Amino acid sequence: MPLSKRRTLTQYLIEERRRFPEASGALNALILDVALAAKAISRAVSFGELGDPMSAQLIAAAQTHEPVVNVQGEVQKALDVVSNEIFLRTSEWGGHLAGMGSEEMEAPYQIPAQYPRGKYLLVFDPLDGSSNIDVNVSVGSIFSILRAPEEVIASGRDVTAADFLQPGATQVAAGYAIYGPATMLVITVGNGVAGFTLDHNVGEFKLTHPNIRVPADAQEFAINSSNARFWEPPVKRYVDECLAGKTGPRGKDFNMRWIASLVAEAHRILMRGGVFMYPKDTKDPSKPGRLRLLYEANPIGFIMEQAGGRVSTGRESVLGVQPTSLHQRIGLIFGSKNEVERIEHYHAEYDAGTDKPYVSPLFNERSLFRPEALT
């Protein structure tokens, strides 16, 4: 079998680095470690209910340092743990990291004493959409690479959660892997977005989607409508206008999508445009949104903006938000630029009180939009 002419991830990273001769190469090495994690997780999830012998070993190993891991009949939980272990093992040894943060670990992970420490921080959601595992829908992994604070690099001390609390705009690199019919890795190092497909023949990611761009306009939106009664009025207004279709204020029909797997939604939008919303709502006032800022919203947002799309809370760019805790949640809206800007505009009008003449074209029930009905 002749090797294809497509560039491998390694080749792509080396050639990108040649354009920035001052770059150390540590970042490339770290991204390749993460890519190895993606390959291993891709394989682990592909066994489904059969279970993967390697995964069983990792679960056993994890049980020695995790308090309680219920593997009995909880395949999805087991794979969360397996994926977390894979990320730790593939990334801890290389000397590029000062520490790691994971959705699966309350506290930051310290690089073990036998390995050198480096200048980057890696934050990740090792298995995103894992509640979809048992229905065999696409899942993924999401990662974000930050620079550790100078004082951490200089001292080599243990990391604290505070070291990770940097706005998304400071990310050095970010990406996700999607484990669908094909396994893909989509990354940005701040210079556009590139997509790679896992070539099982040679076990390498090959560049299949150079310079991905999100179309500025879209006719697809994704939101969990079962939360409609908790939405803020500007979100309800946007969705109502989409639903009103050709005869409504937008003058065109929209399609609705909802996979309930963030990576799968982001990937669809990256490939063909659209908008995704998991906005802040009134369901549980103690939770400002559902998705996690540091290892979901920021990396997906960085990729969207690098692809010409936009990411927002509805009121500000997600990438400008100063995090206050490692596992902080946030309202998340991203996708095609013009649609996200329209939603931001609706929030601004609502906050300024200039959207009062607006009445839902579909439900025509003013009471739904009285602010006092929503507090």
Residues contributing to the site for Mn ion (CB under 5 A) = 103, 125, 127-128
| 79/159 with CB nearer Mn ion | 79
CA 316, 317, 322, 327 dihedral sign is positive
| 128/163 with CB nearer Mn ion | 128
DSSP codes joined into one string, 88-137:
HHHHSSSS-EEEEEETT-SSPBPPPTTS---SEEEEEEEEETGGGGGGT-
3-state secondary structure 150-194: HHHHHHCCCCCHHHHCCCHHHCCEEEEEEECCCEEEEEECCCCCE
Say if CB 329 and CB 296 are below 8 A apart.
no
Quote the least distance from Cβ 342 to Mn ion, whole Å: 26
179: tokens are 């484990």
| 52/103 with CB nearer Mn ion | 103
Quote the least distance from Cβ 80 to Mn ion, whole Å: 6
Say if CB 270 and CB 304 are below 8 A apart.
yes
| 127/318 with CB nearer Mn ion | 127
113: tokens are 């004493």
Q: How many C-beta atoms lie closer than 10 Å to residue 280's C-beta?
A: 22
Quote the least distance from Cβ 90 to Mn ion, whole Å: 17
Q: Shortest Cβ contact with Mn ion: which residue?
A: 128
Cβ neighbours of residue 124 closer than 8 Å, sequence gap 6 or more = 34, 87, 100, 101, 102, 103, 141, 142, 143, 144, 295
| 84/306 with CB nearer Mn ion | 84
Quote the least distance from Cβ 48 to Mn ion, whole Å: 18
Quote the least distance from Cβ 136 to Mn ion, whole Å: 17
| Whole-number Å distance between alpha carbons of 79 and 353 | 47
Distances in Å between the Cα of 170 and the Cα atoms of 152, 298, 306 are: 16, 10, 13
| 127/159 with CB nearer Mn ion | 127
| Whole-number Å distance between alpha carbons of 260 and 223 | 9
Quote the least distance from Cβ 102 to Mn ion, whole Å: 9
Quote the least distance from Cβ 56 to Mn ion, whole Å: 20
Phi/psi at 291 (5° precision): -85, 160
Quote the least distance from Cβ 125 to Mn ion, whole Å: 4
| 233/299 with CB nearer Mn ion | 299
| 228/260 with CB nearer Mn ion | 260
